[in-house]
Amino acid sequence: MSSKVVNESSMFYMDFCPNCSNILHLDEYMGEVRHKCQVCPYFSPIKNVTLASRSFYKLKEIDSVLGGKAAWENVDSIDVVCNSCNHGRAYFLQVQTRSADEPMTVFYKCCNCGNRWRE
Ligand SMILES: [Zn+2]
Ligand SMILES: [Zn+2]
């Protein structure tokens, strides 16, 4: 194993752009993981994290899948009760977040209040 996985707790801090103070998002470029500003061209590489890292995929789950603008467009809805507002309908997304032999992760987003959770 040549790749190192950094401590998860240290991965979850929010990083802000020094130029425009917007939150930096996780991005992958040429096989490397980096924090990238969505507003200006600023980015900062994250060392010791590879695309094969489970920590990285966990972060991608949260940052890109749930936070992505396009992620919840044109998705189906299903009868499921929201634990926040008790609304009976939510959008759902199935995402292959890890290796192909692991089951899909299902994410829900309440049609009423926008609350998000995972199965
Ligand atoms: Zn910026
Ligand atoms: Zn709700």
SS3 of 31-96: CEEEEEECCCCCEEECCCCCCCCHHHHHHHHHHHHHCCCCCCCCCCEEECCCCCCCCCEEEEEEEC
Asked whether the predicted pLDDT for residue 5 surpasses 50, the reply is: no
The CA-to-CA distance between both ends of the chain, in Å, stands at 31
* 102 Cα: distance to centroid of ligand 2 (angstroms): 29
Q: Which residue has the higher pLDDT, 65 or 19?
A: 19
Q: Residue 119: its pLDDT value, please? A: 79
* 113 Cα: distance to centroid of ligand 2 (angstroms): 4
Residue set of the binding site: 17, 20, 37, 40, 82, 85, 110, 113
* 80 Cα: distance to centroid of ligand 2 (angstroms): 10
Give the SS3 label for residue 109: strand
pLDDT digits (tens, 9 = 90+) for 71-119: 667 788 999 999 999 999 998 887 765 566 667 778 888 999 988 888 7
pLDDT digits (tens, 9 = 90+) for 6-22: 444 334 445 688 899 88
The number of residues making up the chain comes to: 119
* 7 Cα: distance to centroid of ligand 1 (angstroms): 26
